[in-house]
Amino acid sequence: MNVTLSPRALMSLLVNGPKAMDVLTTALELGLLDALEPGPATLGDLATRFGVRPLRLYKFLDCLESLGCLVRDEPGDDIGTATYRAVPGLRAAVVAVVGPDAQERDRDRYPWRLLHGRLAESLRGEVSLTDDDFAWPPRTDEQTAAFERSMAVGLGPVVETFHRHAHQLWPGRRRFLDVGGGDGTLAVGVLADAPELTVDVYNLPAVEALVDETRARSGHGERLGFVGGDFLAEPLPTGYDVLSFVRVLHDWPTDVARRLVEKAYQALPPGGMLLICEEFRTPDRLAMQFFWSYFLIGVDSCVSRLRDVEFYTGLLTRTGFDKVEVLPGTWELVVGHKPESTPGD
């Protein structure tokens, strides 16, 4: 889906956002999206099948087309013969934002309304979120649980990419440490793909109880472990042949991100592998990150800095990793290896 609109047209869509969501939700609930995605479907057939008035449906479909969701062909003046096809993935995208597991619903629980209408004051530093509103890293058990739940809700594309490349990542590997590994949701996905592997989550001690719950739900028992620690204050644990940072490095300024990658290099044995899966700076990711970009305007302790993939490949190479590559996926995976023999050996 590729829509390029003038600023004026984009403003018109944005100001009508709630109506656009009404159209999309209705199209989903009626079953229209199921009919439109395989398409092409004629307006006449759609009107008969769904028991709606053709001229009304024509306007409804114009709404969808204005959003870039439909391709239309109108061969003549008879609207009944106009054909429509939805862009691939539309139905799944609508379900993802209005369905019960919607990230957007989860994000709405955060107190973003404290900033709404007060952004200018917030930009000047006169209005901020307090540690009770949102602390980074989370401060209380309640904040920790809420934040890790939010993270787990958005992990789907990451789990998918790890799964897609499992055949390349895990053979010959024994112990994997997911640094800043949330509540262990990714670890569970990896364990299902790699029977020889044990996975530990490294996270702030307050997260242990959540990983315990994930372990109990997953049935992986002792293959899913937890190591409590603070990666800002201490070296990363050794004894692992794979480490990962998933959506961790973008939270921190560049000097901290660099130090964390250096700590990973020091902790890995020769031949060890580092995986980075991040919020790269692409139009899609920026759009899907909109909530956090907005909300975190009021929070100075979280950097939330989306960087280009080249930032990470360059950082790995400069740190000493070799065979650095980017594996494709909805979320790409940057892979680097600590050389078998390092300079000075």
Ligand X SMILES: C[S@@+](CC[C@H](N)C(=O)[O-])C[C@H]1O[C@@H](n2cnc3c(N)ncnc32)[C@H](O)[C@@H]1O
- DSSP symbols for 94-152: HHHHHSTT-HHHHHHTS-GGGTTT-HHHHHTTSS---TTT--SS--SHHHHHHHHHHHH
Q: Please, what is the minimum distance in Å from the beta carbon of residue 307 to ligand X?
A: 14
137 touches ligand X (CB under 6 A) = yes
Q: How far, rounded to the nearest angstrom, does the alpha carbon of residue 21 sit from its chain's CA centroid? A: 21
In whole angstroms, the minimum distance from the beta carbon of 278 to ligand X comes to: 9
Binding status of residue 182 toward ligand X by CB under 6 A: yes
Q: Is 181 in the site for ligand X (CB under 6 A)?
A: yes
Quote the least distance from Cβ 295 to ligand X, whole Å: 13
Dihedral pair phi/psi, residue 43, rounded to 5°: -60, -40
CB contact at 8 A, 201 and 182: yes
Q: Quick check: 278 binds ligand X (CB under 6 A)? A: no
Binding mask 213-242 for ligand X (x = CB under 6 A): -----------------xxx----------
55, containing H or E segment:
helix 54-66
Report in angstroms how near the CB of residue 247 gets to ligand X at its nearest: 4
Helix segments in 194-330, DSSP class H = 208-218, 254-267, 283-288, 290-295, 309-319
Q: Which residue number places its CB atom closest to ligand X? A: 180
**Which pair of tokens denotes residue 50?**
């769904």
Work out whether 180 is an interface residue with ligand X (CB under 6 A): yes
Query: Which of 21, 17, 1 minimizes the C-alpha distance to 68?
Result: 1
Please identify, using beta-carbon distances, which residue of 189 and 336 lies nearer to ligand X: 189
Parallel, antiparallel, or unpaired for β 70-73 and 83-86? antiparallel
Whichever of 80 and 229 has its CB closer to ligand X, that residue is 229
177 binds ligand X (CB under 6 A): no
Q: If binding is defined by CB under 6 A, does position 207 make contact with ligand X?
A: yes
When binding is defined by CB under 6 A, the residue of 47, 151, 257, 264 that contacts ligand X is 151
Our CB check for ligand X shows the closer of 182 and 272 to be 182
Q: Which residues contact ligand X (rule: CB under 6 A)?
A: 137, 148, 151, 155, 180-182, 203-204, 207, 230-232, 246-248, 251
